[in-house]
């Protein structure tokens, strides 16, 4: 059976959609990074350091909670 010309393009469409979402994420990440760096350049260094420490603490708590969830078996399996 001959392959139609448009069938190859339809098969690739999901990959293009993933690529589009990845690029959108990267553009937004770079935009937010620029905004944060721009803000850090205009506020006093002490405020930037305190904000950095707060973000680091928040990420550490998140990491510990996620690690605990990943290593602890579900309650149904504990019985």
User: What is the Cα–Cα distance from 33 to 47, expressed in whole angstroms?
Assistant: 17
Rg of the chain on CA atoms, in Å: 23
Low-confidence ranges of the chain (pLDDT < 70): 1-18, 77-79
pLDDT of the residue at 13:
54
Q: Tens digit of pLDDT for each residue in 46-63?
A: 988 898 899 999 999 999
- For residues 60 and 68, the answer to whether their CB atoms sit within 8 Å is no
User: What is the Cα–Cα distance from 40 to 9, expressed in whole angstroms?
Assistant: 46
pLDDT of the residue at 23:
84
pLDDT of the residue at 65:
93
Q: What's the whole-model pTM score?
A: 0.47
């Amino acid at each position: 059976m001959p392959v139609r010309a448009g069938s190859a393009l339809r098969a690739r469409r999901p990959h293009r959609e993933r690529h589009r979402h990845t690029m959108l994420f990267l553009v937004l990440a770079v935009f937010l990074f620029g905004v944060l760096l721009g803000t850090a350049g205009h506020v006093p260094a002490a405020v930037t350091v305190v904000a950095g420490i707060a973000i680091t603490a928040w990420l550490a708590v998140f990491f510990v909670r996620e690690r605990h969830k990943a290593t602890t078996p579900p309650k149904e399996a504990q019985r």
